[in-house]
Chain A
Amino acid sequence: MPAERERLARIKSNLKRRARIYDIVREFFRGRGFLEVETPIRVPCIAPELNISPLKSEDWYLAASPELHMKRLLAAGYKQIFQVSHCFRKGEHGRQHNPEFSLLEWYRADAGFMDVISDTEHLVCTLMQELHAGNILHYQGQEIALDLPWPRLSVKDVFLKIAGWDPMADYNAERFDYDMATLVLPALSPARPTVLVEYPAAAASLARLKTGDNSVAERAEVFIGTMELANAYSELTDAAEQRQRFMKESAQIEREQGQVIPLSEPFLEALSFLPECGGIALGMDRLVMLFCDAGNIDEVCAFTEENI
C-alpha cells in the first residue's frame, strides 16, 4: 500500500494534465460543430482484424474500437461525431500499450482521410497553445517541431527508400509489418511528426481504395517522432466490398487462430447509407504521454494491468 500511495502521488501532476487535455479535446471538437457520442463497450460483433485479438465477455466482446457503431450513426445522418472510449485488445502490453486503453475517434461526413489528418494537426497545435508549450514539444530528450503542415510521406516511397522494396507492387503482409516495425518506423525523423499516406490496398481494412488506382488505400497514419498516434481512413462505403473483406479476414482468423468472428449484419446494412466520410482513431494515452514527457503508459494511467 505505501508503494501504491507513493506511485499515485508521483503521477498526480500527469493525471491532472490528462484531465486538462480531455477538456481541451472536447472544447476543440464542440467548437467545430462535432457532437460527442457514446456507443456500447460490450458488443456482440467486432470488425474481424487478424492482428487485433479481442477480449471476450461471455459470448460477446469488449470493443476493440467504437468504429462500427459510430459509422451506424453517420449512416443515420449524424455528420460530425466524436467519442473518447475505453477499448480492449488482448495481449497488448508494453511501454506504449495496455490491454485496456483510451481511444479518441472522430468522423466527418462529406470528407476524406486527409481532412481528418488536418483536424489532427490542428488539435495537437491547439493543445500546444492551451498548455503554453510553444511550437517545440520536448519528449524524452528529443525536441519535436510541430509547425504545420507535418511532412507527408507515401508508404511506397518510404518503403522503397528504407526497406528497398515496393509493397504496392508485391505485397507480403508478414514482411510489410516486420519491415514497418523494424526498419521504417525507427528511420522516421525523431524531430518532426510524420504522416504516412496511401497504404497498400491489401492493408486497407475499412478504408476505400483510391479513385483511379486500385493498388492504393486511402489510409494514413500519424507519427509524432517515432510514436504511432493515429490511423485515418477515407471510409469504405461499399457494403458488398466490405462484406467480402470481412469474410476474407474472418476466414484467415479461423484458419490461423481457430476463432470464428461473427459479422455485424446491422453494420453491413447501415453501410449502404454511409455518406463519403473520413474517420480517425487516435490513442489518447499516447497523446497524454507526449504532453507529460512520459516514456511509459503507466505514468499517465492511474491503474494499468501491471498494478490493477
Chain B
Amino acid sequence: MEIEEVRKNTKLMYQGKPWNVDNAEFVKPGKGRAIYRLRLKNLLDSSTLDITFHSGEKVDEASISNQEMQYLYKEGDHYVFMNTSNFDQTFVTETQMGDKINFLKEGVLVNVQLLEDRPIDISIPVFVELEVVETGTAIKTATVTAQNKSAKLETGYSLDVPAFIKEGDMLKIDTRTGAYVERLTKK
C-alpha cells in the first residue's frame, strides 16, 4: 500500500515483522516533500519503533484475519484459545494479552486477530460480568464521601468497589478503564 494510505492502527509488515501503527504524523512544508513519522508497535513482543517515510514510498500491509475463539485455560505463561470452527488450539503470550487477562474467564468467546495462523491480538467486550471472590469491610473514615474498598474478582483482578459489595456479587466492569460500573445481582 502507498504510505499516503497509512492511518493510525493500520497493521504493517516491516523488516519481516508485523507492526501496529500507534501514531502517524504527517509533516509537510507547503512546497516541500511530505514526511510520514510513524510510531510502530510490534504485534508480537510490543516493542516500539519510530520510523520516517517519504511520500511516494510503499509499505506492506499485514494481512490480518479475525476468528472467533474460546478461551480455555492458562498453561505456564501462555493462554490457550480454541478456534470454534475447526477446534484447533492456539497460544497467546502474557505480553500480547496485556491487561486483558484481568477480564477473561475460562469458557468465554472472544475475537482473535490472526496474522496468517499466529494470534497477534484479541478483542474483548467493552463490558464484562465477573464475580467477587474476596472482599473485606470498608475502612471507616471521617469523610462523608462514598467509601470504597478493595475487591478481588474470579479472574484474580483486584479493584476498588463501593462499600456495599459482598462476596458472590456479580459486577459489571468497564474493560477500557478497569473500573467498576455497577452491581448486577445480589446473593
Contacts and interface: CB of A to CB of B under 8 A. Distances in A.
Interface of A: 49-52, 90-95, 97, 173-174, 176-178, 180-182, 185, 203, 205, 221, 228, 231, 256-257, 281
Given A91-B4, A91-B55, A178 B35 contact: yes
Contacts of A256: 56
Contacts of A182: 27, 35, 52
Given A51-B55, A93-B26, A180 B34 contact: no
Contacts of B31: 49, 51-52, 203, 205, 231
Interface string B30-42: 1111110000000
A181 B30 contact: no
A167 to B, nearest CB: 12
B25 A181 contact: no
Centre residue among A177, A221, A228, A256 by max chain B CB count within 10 A: A177
B76 interface: no
B27 A94 contact: yes
Contact of B33 (A51, A90, A92): A51
A173 to B, nearest CB: 8
Report the 8 A-B pairs with minimum CB-CB distance, sorted nearest first. Answer: A94-B26, A177-B32, A91-B4, A177-B33, A181-B27, A51-B33, A181-B35, A231-B30
Interface string B10-40: 0000000000000001111111111100000
B38 to A, nearest CB: 12
B30 A176 contact: no
A258 to B, nearest CB: 11
Contacts, number: 60
A142 B25 CA distance: 20
Q: How big is chain B's contact interface, by range?
A: 10 to 19
Contacts of B55: 51, 91
Contacts of A228: 29-30
A92 B31 CA distance: 12
Nearest to A185: B29
B28 A94 contact: yes
A268 B72 CA distance: 73
Given A51-B34, A91-B34, A92-B34, A180 B29 contact: yes
A91 B7 CA distance: 12
A92 B25 CA distance: 11
Contacts of A90: 4
Nearest to B3: A91
A92 B26 contact: yes
A231 B29 CA distance: 10
Given A51-B55, A181-B35, A182-B35, A97 B28 contact: yes
